Structure 1
Protein backbone atom coordinates (compact mmCIF):
# COMPACT_ATOMS: atom_id res chain seq x y z
CA UNK A 1 0.00 0.00 0.00
CA UNK A 2 1.38 3.41 -0.92
CA UNK A 3 0.99 6.48 1.22
CA UNK A 4 -0.49 9.70 -0.16
CA UNK A 5 2.02 12.08 -1.64
CA UNK A 6 2.41 14.95 0.83
CA UNK A 7 3.59 17.43 -1.81
CA UNK A 8 2.46 17.61 -5.40
CA UNK A 9 3.78 20.20 -7.78
CA UNK A 10 4.40 21.18 -11.36
CA UNK A 11 8.15 21.12 -12.08
CA UNK A 12 9.52 24.66 -12.13
CA UNK A 13 12.99 25.29 -13.61
CA UNK A 14 13.37 28.31 -11.31
CA UNK A 15 12.94 26.22 -8.15
CA UNK A 16 14.00 22.64 -8.66
CA UNK A 17 14.25 21.61 -5.00
CA UNK A 18 10.98 19.64 -4.91
CA UNK A 19 11.78 17.98 -8.23
CA UNK A 20 15.29 17.09 -7.00
CA UNK A 21 13.75 15.65 -3.82
CA UNK A 22 11.29 13.62 -5.90
CA UNK A 23 14.12 12.27 -8.08
CA UNK A 24 15.97 11.41 -4.87
CA UNK A 25 13.19 9.01 -3.86
CA UNK A 26 14.59 6.55 -6.41
CA UNK A 27 17.36 4.57 -4.74
CA UNK A 28 20.36 3.97 -6.98
CA UNK A 29 23.72 2.34 -6.87
CA UNK A 30 26.85 4.47 -6.81
CA UNK A 31 29.59 4.36 -9.43
CA UNK A 32 32.90 6.01 -10.11
CA UNK A 33 33.60 6.58 -13.80
CA UNK A 34 37.22 6.99 -14.92
CA UNK A 35 38.94 8.08 -18.12
CA UNK A 36 42.57 8.68 -18.98
CA UNK A 37 43.94 12.21 -19.19
CA UNK A 38 47.40 13.38 -20.13
CA UNK A 39 49.41 12.13 -17.20
CA UNK A 40 46.47 11.38 -14.95
CA UNK A 41 42.97 10.21 -14.32
CA UNK A 42 39.64 11.95 -14.67
CA UNK A 43 37.11 10.55 -12.22
CA UNK A 44 33.50 11.33 -11.46
CA UNK A 45 31.05 9.87 -8.97
CA UNK A 46 27.75 9.08 -10.68
CA UNK A 47 24.49 7.45 -9.71
CA UNK A 48 23.00 7.78 -13.20
CA UNK A 49 24.37 4.42 -14.38
CA UNK A 50 22.10 1.86 -16.05
CA UNK A 51 22.36 -1.19 -18.25
CA UNK A 52 20.69 -0.79 -21.63
CA UNK A 53 21.23 -3.80 -23.88
CA UNK A 54 22.66 -7.31 -23.85
CA UNK A 55 23.22 -7.47 -27.62
CA UNK A 56 25.19 -5.40 -28.19
CA UNK A 57 26.28 -5.03 -24.56
CA UNK A 58 25.51 -1.38 -23.73
CA UNK A 59 25.47 0.70 -20.55
CA UNK A 60 24.86 4.40 -19.94
CA UNK A 61 25.57 7.18 -17.51
CA UNK A 62 24.71 10.89 -17.56
CA UNK A 63 27.18 13.58 -16.50
CA UNK A 64 26.04 17.17 -16.09
CA UNK A 65 27.05 19.48 -18.94
CA UNK A 66 28.01 22.14 -16.38
CA UNK A 67 30.47 19.86 -14.59
CA UNK A 68 34.09 20.99 -14.84
CA UNK A 69 34.91 17.32 -15.51
CA UNK A 70 32.45 16.95 -18.38
CA UNK A 71 34.83 17.96 -21.23
CA UNK A 72 37.23 15.11 -20.44
CA UNK A 73 34.46 12.53 -20.55
CA UNK A 74 32.86 14.10 -23.64
CA UNK A 75 36.16 13.55 -25.51
CA UNK A 76 37.08 10.16 -24.03
CA UNK A 77 37.02 7.28 -26.50
CA UNK A 78 37.29 4.75 -23.63
CA UNK A 79 36.12 4.86 -20.01
CA UNK A 80 35.51 2.50 -17.09
CA UNK A 81 32.47 2.39 -14.82
CA UNK A 82 33.06 0.98 -11.33
CA UNK A 83 30.06 -0.13 -9.23
CA UNK A 84 31.05 0.61 -5.63
CA UNK A 85 30.72 -1.65 -2.59
CA UNK A 86 29.06 -0.62 0.68
CA UNK A 87 32.41 0.09 2.34
CA UNK A 88 33.49 2.53 -0.40
CA UNK A 89 31.39 5.53 0.64
CA UNK A 90 34.50 7.57 1.49
CA UNK A 91 35.84 6.96 -2.02
CA UNK A 92 32.55 8.04 -3.58
CA UNK A 93 32.47 11.31 -1.60
CA UNK A 94 36.20 11.99 -2.14
CA UNK A 95 35.87 11.65 -5.92
CA UNK A 96 32.65 13.72 -5.90
CA UNK A 97 34.42 16.59 -4.11
CA UNK A 98 37.86 16.45 -5.74
CA UNK A 99 38.31 16.15 -9.50
CA UNK A 100 41.93 15.00 -9.06
CA UNK A 101 41.27 12.57 -6.21
CA UNK A 102 42.58 9.57 -8.13
CA UNK A 103 45.53 11.23 -9.94
CA UNK A 104 48.15 9.78 -7.61
CA UNK A 105 46.26 6.77 -6.30
CA UNK A 106 48.53 4.18 -7.95
CA UNK A 107 45.75 2.83 -10.16
CA UNK A 108 46.37 0.14 -12.72
CA UNK A 109 45.27 0.62 -16.32
CA UNK A 110 42.97 -1.56 -18.39
CA UNK A 111 43.75 -2.76 -21.93
CA UNK A 112 42.81 0.67 -23.32
CA UNK A 113 44.92 2.70 -20.89
CA UNK A 114 42.01 3.77 -18.69
CA UNK A 115 42.91 4.00 -14.98
CA UNK A 116 40.85 1.46 -13.02
CA UNK A 117 40.13 0.81 -9.36
CA UNK A 118 41.56 -2.40 -7.98
CA UNK A 119 38.42 -3.19 -6.02
CA UNK A 120 34.72 -2.69 -6.72
CA UNK A 121 31.60 -4.87 -7.07
CA UNK A 122 31.61 -4.67 -10.85
CA UNK A 123 33.64 -2.93 -13.51
CA UNK A 124 32.65 -2.22 -17.09
CA UNK A 125 35.44 -1.27 -19.50
CA UNK A 126 33.75 0.58 -22.35
CA UNK A 127 34.31 2.33 -25.60
CA UNK A 128 32.10 5.21 -26.62
CA UNK A 129 29.02 4.02 -28.51
CA UNK A 130 26.86 7.18 -28.59
CA UNK A 131 26.20 10.50 -26.88
CA UNK A 132 22.81 12.19 -26.62
CA UNK A 133 22.08 15.63 -25.21
CA UNK A 134 19.33 15.48 -22.63
CA UNK A 135 18.54 18.83 -21.04
CA UNK A 136 21.35 19.85 -18.70
CA UNK A 137 23.02 16.42 -18.95
CA UNK A 138 24.60 14.24 -21.63
CA UNK A 139 23.67 10.59 -21.94
CA UNK A 140 26.89 8.70 -22.63
CA UNK A 141 26.36 5.19 -23.97
CA UNK A 142 29.25 2.78 -23.73
CA UNK A 143 29.76 -0.56 -25.45
CA UNK A 144 31.05 -2.99 -22.84
CA UNK A 145 34.35 -4.50 -23.97
CA UNK A 146 35.13 -6.28 -20.71
CA UNK A 147 33.25 -6.78 -17.43
CA UNK A 148 34.24 -8.26 -14.10
CA UNK A 149 32.41 -8.86 -10.83
CA UNK A 150 33.16 -9.64 -7.19
CA UNK A 151 30.96 -10.44 -4.22
CA UNK A 152 29.85 -7.88 -1.64
CA UNK A 153 27.13 -5.52 -0.53
CA UNK A 154 26.31 -2.51 -2.74
CA UNK A 155 26.75 1.15 -1.96
CA UNK A 156 23.41 2.91 -2.42
CA UNK A 157 22.26 6.51 -2.70
CA UNK A 158 18.82 7.72 -1.55
CA UNK A 159 17.51 11.16 -0.70
CA UNK A 160 20.90 12.81 -1.19
CA UNK A 161 22.63 10.45 1.23
CA UNK A 162 24.47 7.17 1.28
CA UNK A 163 21.99 4.43 2.18
CA UNK A 164 22.00 0.73 2.86
CA UNK A 165 20.16 -1.97 0.99
CA UNK A 166 18.55 -4.69 3.07
CA UNK A 167 18.98 -8.00 1.32
CA UNK A 168 16.42 -10.68 2.01
Structure 2
Protein backbone atom coordinates (compact mmCIF):
# COMPACT_ATOMS: atom_id res chain seq x y z
CA UNK A 1 0.00 0.00 0.00
CA UNK A 2 1.30 3.44 -0.91
CA UNK A 3 1.52 5.21 2.47
CA UNK A 4 1.92 8.66 0.93
CA UNK A 5 -1.27 8.27 -1.12
CA UNK A 6 -3.10 6.87 1.92
CA UNK A 7 -2.04 9.88 3.97
CA UNK A 8 -3.27 12.20 1.19
CA UNK A 9 -6.61 10.36 1.01
CA UNK A 10 -7.06 10.49 4.80
CA UNK A 11 -6.27 14.21 4.69
CA UNK A 12 -9.31 14.78 2.48
CA UNK A 13 -11.46 14.31 5.60
CA UNK A 14 -12.02 17.71 7.21
CA UNK A 15 -11.56 17.82 10.98
CA UNK A 16 -11.68 20.33 13.76
CA UNK A 17 -8.45 21.29 15.51
CA UNK A 18 -7.91 20.77 19.24
CA UNK A 19 -5.20 21.10 21.82
CA UNK A 20 -5.27 18.26 24.33
CA UNK A 21 -3.63 19.24 27.62
CA UNK A 22 -2.72 17.70 30.96
CA UNK A 23 -0.39 18.15 33.92
CA UNK A 24 2.55 15.77 33.86
CA UNK A 25 4.91 14.51 36.52
CA UNK A 26 6.37 17.32 38.59
CA UNK A 27 3.47 19.64 37.76
CA UNK A 28 4.70 20.42 34.23
CA UNK A 29 1.91 21.36 31.85
CA UNK A 30 1.88 19.34 28.64
CA UNK A 31 -0.19 19.69 25.51
CA UNK A 32 -0.24 19.12 21.78
CA UNK A 33 -2.32 19.83 18.70
CA UNK A 34 -4.67 16.94 17.92
CA UNK A 35 -7.05 16.48 14.99
CA UNK A 36 -8.06 12.91 15.90
CA UNK A 37 -10.63 14.05 18.49
CA UNK A 38 -14.13 12.59 18.22
CA UNK A 39 -17.30 12.34 20.27
CA UNK A 40 -17.97 8.73 21.21
CA UNK A 41 -21.03 8.51 23.47
CA UNK A 42 -23.61 10.75 25.12
CA UNK A 43 -24.58 8.22 27.81
CA UNK A 44 -22.16 8.04 29.42
CA UNK A 45 -20.48 11.16 27.98
CA UNK A 46 -17.31 9.87 26.31
CA UNK A 47 -14.78 11.33 23.88
CA UNK A 48 -11.90 9.73 21.96
CA UNK A 49 -8.53 10.95 20.72
CA UNK A 50 -5.20 9.39 19.80
CA UNK A 51 -1.51 10.09 20.37
CA UNK A 52 1.55 8.75 18.53
CA UNK A 53 3.39 6.19 20.66
CA UNK A 54 6.64 8.08 19.92
CA UNK A 55 5.24 11.43 21.11
CA UNK A 56 7.30 13.22 23.77
CA UNK A 57 3.96 14.06 25.46
CA UNK A 58 3.00 10.40 25.98
CA UNK A 59 4.56 10.17 29.47
CA UNK A 60 2.49 13.11 30.75
CA UNK A 61 -0.80 11.57 29.57
CA UNK A 62 0.19 8.21 31.06
CA UNK A 63 1.04 9.88 34.39
CA UNK A 64 -2.21 11.83 34.77
CA UNK A 65 -5.65 10.39 33.91
CA UNK A 66 -7.13 13.92 33.74
CA UNK A 67 -6.95 15.87 30.48
CA UNK A 68 -8.76 18.66 28.65
CA UNK A 69 -9.72 18.84 24.99
CA UNK A 70 -9.66 22.48 23.89
CA UNK A 71 -11.45 23.07 20.56
CA UNK A 72 -9.75 25.90 18.66
CA UNK A 73 -11.42 28.78 16.87
CA UNK A 74 -10.48 30.14 13.46
CA UNK A 75 -8.49 32.98 15.09
CA UNK A 76 -6.23 30.47 16.91
CA UNK A 77 -4.06 29.17 14.06
CA UNK A 78 -0.97 30.46 15.87
CA UNK A 79 -1.81 28.37 18.94
CA UNK A 80 -2.34 25.29 16.80
CA UNK A 81 1.06 25.76 15.16
CA UNK A 82 2.79 26.42 18.49
CA UNK A 83 1.39 23.23 20.04
CA UNK A 84 2.21 21.21 16.90
CA UNK A 85 5.88 22.22 17.15
CA UNK A 86 8.64 21.39 19.61
CA UNK A 87 8.31 24.91 21.08
CA UNK A 88 9.23 24.66 24.78
CA UNK A 89 7.00 27.47 26.06
CA UNK A 90 3.66 26.48 24.59
CA UNK A 91 1.39 27.76 27.34
CA UNK A 92 1.13 31.56 27.11
CA UNK A 93 0.42 33.55 30.23
CA UNK A 94 -3.20 34.65 30.41
CA UNK A 95 -4.32 32.26 27.67
CA UNK A 96 -4.50 29.24 29.95
CA UNK A 97 -5.74 28.46 33.46
CA UNK A 98 -5.79 25.26 35.47
CA UNK A 99 -9.30 23.87 35.10
CA UNK A 100 -11.41 22.65 37.98
CA UNK A 101 -10.68 19.02 37.10
CA UNK A 102 -6.89 19.26 37.04
CA UNK A 103 -5.92 20.01 33.44
CA UNK A 104 -4.98 23.28 31.68
CA UNK A 105 -7.89 24.88 29.81
CA UNK A 106 -7.78 27.56 27.12
CA UNK A 107 -9.71 30.68 28.14
CA UNK A 108 -11.12 31.50 24.71
CA UNK A 109 -11.67 28.04 23.20
CA UNK A 110 -14.74 27.24 21.10
CA UNK A 111 -15.39 24.39 23.55
CA UNK A 112 -13.50 22.71 26.37
CA UNK A 113 -14.08 19.15 27.57
CA UNK A 114 -12.48 18.33 30.92
CA UNK A 115 -12.11 14.56 31.08
CA UNK A 116 -10.82 11.56 32.97
CA UNK A 117 -9.27 8.65 31.08
CA UNK A 118 -11.40 5.51 31.33
CA UNK A 119 -9.59 3.41 28.72
CA UNK A 120 -6.35 3.26 26.76
CA UNK A 121 -5.69 0.99 23.82
CA UNK A 122 -2.68 0.71 21.53
CA UNK A 123 -3.67 0.68 17.86
CA UNK A 124 -0.84 0.54 15.34
CA UNK A 125 1.56 3.42 15.97
CA UNK A 126 -0.91 5.32 18.21
CA UNK A 127 -2.50 5.01 21.64
CA UNK A 128 -6.24 5.64 21.78
CA UNK A 129 -7.56 7.49 24.82
CA UNK A 130 -11.21 7.32 25.81
CA UNK A 131 -12.20 9.94 28.35
CA UNK A 132 -15.34 10.49 30.38
CA UNK A 133 -16.43 14.12 30.17
CA UNK A 134 -16.53 15.59 33.69
CA UNK A 135 -17.30 19.17 32.69
CA UNK A 136 -17.60 21.20 29.50
CA UNK A 137 -17.94 24.80 28.36
CA UNK A 138 -18.75 26.27 24.97
CA UNK A 139 -18.67 29.59 23.13
CA UNK A 140 -20.26 30.61 19.83
CA UNK A 141 -16.93 31.23 18.05
CA UNK A 142 -16.39 29.74 14.58
CA UNK A 143 -14.17 26.61 14.77
CA UNK A 144 -10.81 26.17 13.10
CA UNK A 145 -10.85 23.41 10.45
CA UNK A 146 -8.05 21.32 8.94
CA UNK A 147 -8.04 19.55 5.57
CA UNK A 148 -5.32 18.33 3.21
CA UNK A 149 -2.55 19.85 5.31
CA UNK A 150 -4.11 23.33 5.49
CA UNK A 151 -6.26 25.35 7.87
CA UNK A 152 -9.74 26.38 6.71
CA UNK A 153 -12.66 28.52 7.86
CA UNK A 154 -16.22 27.30 8.16
CA UNK A 155 -18.25 28.14 5.05
CA UNK A 156 -21.87 28.96 4.52
CA UNK A 157 -24.64 26.64 5.73
CA UNK A 158 -26.08 24.65 2.80
The TM-score with structure 1 as length reference comes to: 0.87
For the 8 Å contact 2:71–2:110, the answer to whether it is kept is yes
Report runs of 4+ in structure 1 exceeding 6 Å deviation: none
Taking the TM superposition and a 5 Å limit, the aligned residue runs for 1:112-151 are 112-151=101-140
SS of 2:142 mapped into structure 1: coil
* Cross-structure match for 1:25: 12
The TM-score with structure 2 as length reference comes to: 0.92
Match for residue 49 of structure 2 among 53, 58, 61: 61
Cα distance in structure 2, aligned partners of 1:100 and 1:143: 29
SS of 2:75 mapped into structure 1: helix
* Cross-structure match for 1:44: 32
SS of 1:86 mapped into structure 2: coil
Cα distance in structure 1, aligned partners of 2:146 and 2:18: 10
SS of 1:23 mapped into structure 2: helix
Query: Which range moved further: 112-121 or 149-158?
Result: 112-121
What do the CA deviations read for 1:139-162 (whole angstroms, capped 9, x no partner)?
100000001100011100000111
Change (3 A) 1:54 1:62: same
* Cross-structure match for 1:3: none
Structure 1 residues not aligned, in runs of 5+: 1-10
For the 8 Å contact 1:43–1:101, the answer to whether it is kept is no
Does residue 1:35 correspond to 2:10, yes or no? no
Q: Select the structure that is richer in strand.
A: 2
SS of 1:151 mapped into structure 2: coil
What do the CA deviations read for 1:108-151 (whole angstroms, capped 9, x no partner)?
11123211111100000000110111100111000000011000
